[in-house]
């Protein structure tokens, strides 16, 4: 392995203190973050001195770090296989199939990331790595170990989420409670929206006619109402799945009563939520001012177009991205 910084300057950093090596590298290339350079070089330092032995030790450590997410991914894959087996009788239900598809995509992503880590490690320890400058090698070791740690966390989180999914599959009360949490989220959202609409509506008509802050709040509330409508449709679809599921379990003489009463209660709450949404939409339409529509109408129409025709179960990452793209900046005053 070369002993300079890989820039062809001929000025070696091997055998120099970390402080001197940081100064040399930052001096050679303006714009480098001294703290980032120091963090990389400290990984290949022995007793505060940059050494070839330090590089070899850092590579050995990186190899161990990279192997950890490989093991964790294997464990997550086993957990996904177990979940597939447990879900087999109800995979025709969208609420189950969609969750499995999402887990499949997450596993594929972390598998790809982990494979890339191995390729990068092979490059570091192979002939191409031997030709790299000492600092560039140290910097890549730092990046590699950081990426490996993040991949490990992603695999661990996937396994935990799959374990939660298995509890959801096997326990009707868990399914009902999670759905109830979604209902509570809609209800809380409507509380916030009602408060925002009240604030806009409480201003004198002549004052709010040309108020940009009030117009932005009105537009934001209109977009959020549309999001709440989508969430309501999504939750209704899952409620229908859970009812069908409960009917199957009751027919199969599964242990424990099917939670039909709880599901009926959630259905009633969703009906009330639907009514509140209709009321909110009417109030927002009544508050609309021509200047607000002129200023924000394109945003509202674009978001409506982006979410038109969506059917549950929804891709919420896509909905949230569209919302962030089209929502106006809301100026809030104390």
- pLDDT tens-digit series, residues 311-328: 999 989 899 999 999 998
pLDDT, tens digit, for every residue of 292-314? 999 999 999 999 999 998 999 99
Q: What is the DSSP letter of 50?
A: E
Per-residue pLDDT, 3: 43
8 Å CB contact between 232 and 218: no
Question: Picking from 66-70, 122-126, 259-263, which range would have the lowest pLDDT averaged per residue?
Answer: 259-263
Q: Write down which residue in 137, 170, 203 finishes a domain.
A: 170
Per-residue pLDDT, 131: 42
Residues 134 and 5: their CA atoms lie apart, in Å, by 5
Per-residue pLDDT, 253: 56
User: Are residues 157 and 196 located together in one domain of the fold?
Assistant: no
Q: Which residue has the higher pLDDT, 30 or 194?
A: 194
Per-residue pLDDT, 43: 87
Q: Write down which residue in 147, 170, 193 finishes a domain.
A: 170
Q: Write down which residue in 104, 139, 170 finishes a domain.
A: 170
Residues above pLDDT 70, as percent of the chain? 87
User: Are residues 43 and 94 located together in one domain of the fold?
Assistant: yes
- Domain span at 108: 1-170
pLDDT, tens digit, for every residue of 128-146? 544 457 888 889 999 999 9
How many CB atoms are located within 10 Å of the residue 53 CB?
A: 11
Per-residue pLDDT, 185: 95
User: Are residues 241 and 147 located together in one domain of the fold?
Assistant: no
First to last CA, the chain: 61
Answer yes or no: is 43 within a domain.
Answer: yes
Answer yes or no: is 334 within a domain.
Answer: no
Answer yes or no: is 333 within a domain.
Answer: no
Answer yes or no: is 120 within a domain.
Answer: yes
Q: Radius of gyration over alpha carbons of the chain, in Å?
A: 28
pLDDT, tens digit, for every residue of 168-190? 999 999 999 999 999 999 999 99
User: Are residues 246 and 136 located together in one domain of the fold?
Assistant: no
Q: Is the pLDDT of residue 285 over 50?
A: yes
User: Are residues 108 and 233 located together in one domain of the fold?
Assistant: no
Answer yes or no: is 331 within a domain.
Answer: no
Task: Output phi, psi for 48, to 5 deg.
Answer: 80, 10
Which residues on adjacent β-strands are paired with residue 17? Answer: 49
User: Are residues 199 and 262 located together in one domain of the fold?
Assistant: yes
User: Are residues 134 and 183 located together in one domain of the fold?
Assistant: no
Give the 3-state secondary structure of residue 171. coil
Per-residue pLDDT, 137: 87
User: Are residues 166 and 194 located together in one domain of the fold?
Assistant: no
Average of per-residue pLDDT values in the chain: 87
Count how many domains the chain has.
Answer: 2
């Amino acid at each position: 392995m070369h002993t300079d910084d890989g820039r062809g300057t001929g000025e070696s950093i091997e055998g120099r203190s970390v402080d001197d090596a940081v100064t040399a590298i930052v001096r050679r290339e303006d714009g480098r973050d001294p703290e980032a350079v120091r963090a990389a070089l400290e990984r290949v330092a022995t007793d505060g001195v940059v050494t070839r032995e330090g590089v070899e030790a850092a590579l050995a450590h990186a190899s161990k770090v990279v192997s950890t997410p490989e093991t964790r991914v294997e464990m997550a894959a086993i957990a996904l296989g177990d979940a597939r087996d447990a879900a087999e009788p109800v995979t025709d239900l969208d609420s189950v199939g969609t969750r499995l598809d999402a887990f499949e995509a997450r596993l594929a992503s972390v598998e790809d990331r982990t494979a890339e880590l191995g390729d990068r490690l092979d490059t570091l320890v192979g002939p191409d790595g031997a030709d790299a400058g000492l600092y560039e090698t140290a910097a890549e070791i730092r990046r590699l170990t950081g990426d490996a740690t993040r991949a490990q966390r992603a695999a661990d989180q996937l396994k935990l989420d799959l374990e939660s999914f298995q509890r959801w599959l096997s326990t009707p009360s868990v399914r009902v409670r999670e759905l109830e949490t979604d209902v509570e989220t809609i209800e809380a959202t409507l509380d916030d929206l009602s408060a925002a609409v009240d604030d806009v509506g409480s201003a004198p008509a002549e004052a709010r006619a040309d108020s940009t802050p009030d117009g932005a709040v009105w537009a934001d509330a209109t977009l959020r109402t549309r999001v709440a409508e989508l969430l309501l449709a999504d939750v209704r679809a899952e409620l229908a799945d859970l009812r069908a599921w409960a009917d199957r379990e009751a027919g199969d003489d599964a242990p424990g009563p099917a939670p039909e009463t709880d599901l009926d209660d959630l259905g009633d709450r969703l009906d009330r939520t639907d009514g509140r949404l209709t009321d909110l939409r009417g109030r927002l339409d009544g508050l609309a001012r021509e200047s607000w529509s002129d200023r924000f109408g394109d945003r509202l129409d674009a978001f409506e177009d982006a979410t038109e025709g969506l059917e549950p179960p929804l891709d919420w990452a896509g909905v949230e991205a569209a919302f962030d793209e089209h929502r106006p900046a809301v100026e809030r005053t104390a």
